[in-house]
Amino acid sequence: PGAPHGSPSSDDRHVGDLGNIEADANQVANVNIRDSRIRFAGDGNILGRSLVIHSGEDDLGLGGQSDSKTTGHAGARLACCIIGAV
């Protein structure tokens, strides 16, 4: 809480700042992300939180736009879901 938006390697960032994913010419993206801050319990718990895919490139908090430090100036939301356990 209160941290600025950043890259996965930033010391000060949101837990869910996971960087950019890239889709191919067929708009298919294969994603395999490992992150040291994400947890399924305790600090960094992401259960019940959302995952959002944006339309543009995330500037990782470095773009100088008014929303760089909150959303990475990544554009409109394309897809989202709630993270749960099965």
For all residues of the chain together, what is the average pLDDT?
93
- In order of start, what are the domains of the chain with their CATH numbers? 1-86 (2.60.40.200)
Question: Is 0.85 surpassed by the pTM of this model?
Answer: no
Radius of gyration of the chain (CA): 13
Rounded Cα distance, 68 and 49, in Å: 21
77 φ/ψ angles, rounded to the nearest 5 degrees:
-80, 125
Cα–Cα distances (Å) from 78 to 30, 39, 69, in that order, read 16, 25, 20
Among residues 47, 30, 29, the alpha carbon closest in space to that of 38 is found at 47
How many Cβ atoms are within 10 Å of 57's Cβ, its own excluded? Answer: 13
Give per-residue pLDDT as tens, 37-78.
999 999 889 999 999 999 999 999 999 999 999 999 999 999
